Amino acid sequence: MFTRIVVPLDGTRFAEAALAPARELARAFGSRILVVRAAPPIAPISSDIERDLEQVDAADAYLHDIVSHLRAANYNADMALYLAEPGMSIAGAALLDNADLIVMAAHLRWKDGATSRASTTEDVLARASVPLLVWRVGAAQESEGGPDVEERPPYFLNSAEPIVVALDGTPFAEQALPMAETLARTFGTYLLLVRAMRRGAEVTEGEVRQYLLRIKQQLAERGIQATTLTRPGDPLGVLEAAWREYDGSMIVMTTHGYADTRRRAFGSLATRMVTEIEAPVLIVRASGASAMPTDQASAWPGPDIPV
């Protein structure tokens, strides 16, 4: 399922935490890891062009060091350095590399305020046409990342930690199921199918339970164990509570996306999930949903320094 994984880095230990789940996925699926870093473009007329070039050289050396560590541990790894805005660079790298997944560490807005990292995550969510795994550093056993690739006990997914799947009774939301199912089968875990009941909903709780039981039966026929959960409340609160109560590994959900990347509100559950809760969240782009606008994709300059 995951043959090419993009991991955005910015030179910090925080961002390097995304290498941990990327390595586990690469081991499980035989994936190639592409580490990506964006550096500010060098202006034609710069007050200190030597400083700008030194920053680019330092970023290039940093990525080479990361790739060397990964290759020394027998991972298939490459790098790309872009002189462009981070969100567009990350989404563009995934597009050019035919990536199946982007894995990136992200701060919580309520913990870190409106930081550049938070806005970059939202920008990637808006632009990228491939699934995005937003990794929380606090979800890992180690407080920070780092380029070392020594073998550690797996903590990404295990049989005791279910994958929480957000459903709402529509085929749209069910598009997250194939990816969740593949992960559950690969890592030997089970799915927790969750549906929130908003106040004034047209369907009854009994109808919702029957719907989830039908999905559960379909999964059982394919050899996937699942548990169902229906609760009243706001979807974000219900999903986070379920993840905590069942000691879940991650939350998997579908998003529409949109073409206008200048819109920060998004108005969607997906944006709230990646900025407001502590769970790792895997966002699956729905079939036919919009991502990077065509005009921006065609104008995107591509990589400056690939390996």
Mean per-residue pLDDT over the chain, rounded: 81
The CA-CA-CA angle for residues 15, 19, 23, to 5°, reads: 170
**CA-closest candidate to residue 301, choices 95, 98, 54:** 95
The pTM (predicted TM-score) of the whole model is: 0.84
CA 286 – CA 264 distance, rounded (Å):
19
pLDDT given for residue 46 in this prediction:
57
Residues 6+ away with beta carbon under 8 Å from 69: 147, 148, 149
**CA-closest candidate to residue 59, choices 86, 33, 77:** 86
Sign of CA dihedral 85, 253, 263, 115: negative
CA 24 – CA 155 distance, rounded (Å):
9
- Percentage of the chain modeled with pLDDT above 90: 49
φ and ψ of 103, to 5 deg: -120, 120
Span 249-300, pLDDT tens digits: 999 999 875 544 434 433 478 888 888 888 999 999 877 554 544 344 434 4
pLDDT given for residue 298 in this prediction:
39
Q: Of the ranges 82-91, 115-124, 245-254, which one carries the lowest mean pLDDT score?
A: 115-124
Residue 58 above 80 pLDDT?
Answer: yes
pLDDT given for residue 260 in this prediction:
42
Q: What is the largest CA-CA distance in the chain?
A: 68
